[in-house]
Amino acid sequence: MELRRRRIDHVTDPAYVQDLGSLTMEELRDRRRVLDDLDTEFSFYRRMLHGRMDLLAFEMKRRSGEETRSLIEALPQILADGIDGPSRNTIPKDLSLTLPELSGTGNRSIDRVLGDGFLAHLPSLEDDELEEIQATLTEAEKQVSTQRRAVYDVYDRINEEIARRYRKGLVDTTGLFEEQ
């Protein structure tokens, strides 16, 4: 019986980029598409985590007296201020890509962290519970960011091989720039 591996484990396995020169251009592009999908997924997770972290930080400020507005009153500003710059891959190549459901029942830690309904009962949580949730979200964000950087490293290796082939004239570019 073959164990099912996560895509991140598959693409970060050294065998994924071993002997790239022996792969066809189509195989290289297929691998790059997998990496694009992973980047989109990790970008989504990071944005979800950052949004929760921003909401949690606001609640902590409200409790300390630094903030007088309610969470609902401040929500538009919290969400707008939390938007960081564009990601490396802001538009999915495949617009039919569906992002995973965040039910909280998945096997991955990110599923459990993002599926946790703490926002629904945020006002009733104790301060120590908020700090624990904040630590959990921060750790999950670090893990996702580390995995995303690993995807970029593999992506760069594959792009280097593709660029090498174009530089050396190993790719047929006939019709590449013609209108379709």
Q: Per residue in 124-177, pLDDT tens?
A: 889 999 999 899 999 999 999 999 999 999 999 999 999 999 999 888 776 656
Q: For residues 10 and 131, what is the distance between their CA atoms, to the nearest angstrom?
A: 34
> 21 phi and psi, to 5 degrees?
-65, -20
Confidence at residue 107, expressed as pLDDT on a 0 to 100 scale: 56
Q: Average of pLDDT values for 103-129?
A: 74
* 106 pLDDT above the threshold of 80: no
137 in Cβ contact with 49 (< 8 Å): yes
Let me know the angle formed at the C-alpha of 36 by 30 and 40, rounded to the nearest 5 degrees: 150
From 165, 180, 166, select the one nearest 22 (Cα to Cα).
165
155 in Cβ contact with 11 (< 8 Å): no
* 99 pLDDT above the threshold of 50: no
Res. 63 pLDDT band, cuts 50 70 90 = very high
pTM of the predicted model, to two decimals?
A: 0.75
Q: For residues 156 and 152, what is the distance between their CA atoms, to the nearest angstrom?
A: 6
Average pLDDT, the chain: 82
Least confident of 30-34, 67-71, 88-92: 88-92
Which tops the pLDDT comparison, 69 or 174? 69
Least confident of 21-30, 73-82, 104-113, 166-175: 104-113
